[in-house]
Structure 1
Amino acid sequence: MTVPGNHVSTLTMTLRWGDMDAYGHANNTVYFRFFEEARITWLASLGVGGPEEPTGPVIIKTSATFLKELTHPATVVVETYADKAGTTSLDTYHRLVDADTGALYSEGYAKIVWFDRSARTSTALPDTLRALASSG
């Protein structure tokens, strides 16, 4: 499958021994943690949405397709893509691949809504993110 959107970030991370479950592979929640870390690192690199800022991202929908078993030891690369931008939201996609072989472990999705932390409501997506979004 081709991941939609514009490639905006790549982050390399290591699977920890404790990330594995009783079946001897990475627990499904670990994939979501990898996607989350990649998203937060990407947004921080842009200087938007930090915890001290009045606005920031919240996730209203997320999903993952698990394609290949991930076991320790492993170094993975999370590729992040920005797709369609709405007034207050941005569709993002992720690919989780093996750093050495390029094997695809998982594909993921998260819909980000930009959130005003004091008003507790959605607010306009920053222009910085809108500019990175796919036009299609």
Structure 2
Amino acid sequence: MTHATPTQAPTRRLILTTRIPVRWGDMDAYGHVNNTVYFRYFEQARVEWLEQAGSAVTPDNPVAPVIINASCTFLIPVNYPSTVVVRMYAGEPGRSSVMTWYELGVEGDDRLYSEGASKVVWMDPGTGKSVPLPDAIRAGVS
């Protein structure tokens, strides 16, 4: 009988921490932040990271980061009023992509409220084909 070797957890590097106020309109009929809004919080962290790394999402940028998958595990409901704290992590870069992970908490509370992930791929908007990661992105996650 052979035993499988446990897979090694991917290497993650903290690349950004941001705080986002919860808006009244973020809530749903149950009185807590709607599940779709968590993806917007992760998106905001990702956009801030891209801007800081010199790869802002703009129509005139010759390469564009796109998301090819995204996930979120909801652990504790977030309520208004509060400020969410999103920590964004990146994995080892590939040729044209990097895996990212998110931890979402609430300011003043040490508990983990949700966690998520997304794979970001750089592409040429004109062709729709993947392109190598920009040097600044590669350097920032390596």
Same fold (TM over 0.5): yes
Choose from 67, 72, 75 the match for 1:64.
72
1:122 aligns with 2:114: no
TM-superposed deviation, 1:4: 4.7
Instruction: Tell me, in whole angstroms, the C-alpha distance in 1 between the residues paired with 2:94 and 2:10.
Output: 19
TM-superposed deviation, 1:115: 1.1
Choose from 37, 42, 49 the match for 1:42.
49
Instruction: Tell me, in whole angstroms, the C-alpha distance in 1 between the residues paired with 2:47 and 2:138.
Output: 16
Unmatched segments (≥5 aa) in structure 2: 1-8
Give the equivalent residue in structure 1 for 2:115: 107
Higher strand share: 1
Taking structure 2 as the reference length, the TM-score comes to: 0.87
Unmatched segments (≥5 aa) in structure 1: none
Retained in 2: the 8 A contact 1:76–1:97? yes
Instruction: Tell me, in whole angstroms, the C-alpha distance in 2 between the residues paired with 1:108 and 1:26.
Output: 15
Instruction: Tell me, in whole angstroms, the C-alpha distance in 2 between the residues paired with 1:69 and 1:111.
Output: 25
Give the equivalent residue in structure 2 for 1:53: 61
What is the aligned-residue RMSD (CA, Å)?
1.6
* Largest Rg, 1 or 2: 2
Give the equivalent residue in structure 2 for 1:17: 24
Question: Any idea what SS the aligned residue of 1:32 has?
Answer: helix
Instruction: Tell me, in whole angstroms, the C-alpha distance in 1 between the residues paired with 2:80 and 2:10.
Output: 26
Aligned length: 133
Taking structure 1 as the reference length, the TM-score comes to: 0.91
Question: Any idea what SS the aligned residue of 1:95 has?
Answer: strand
TM-superposed deviation, 1:128: 1.9
- The alignment-based identity, stated in percent, is 46
Retained in 1: the 8 A contact 2:85–2:106? yes
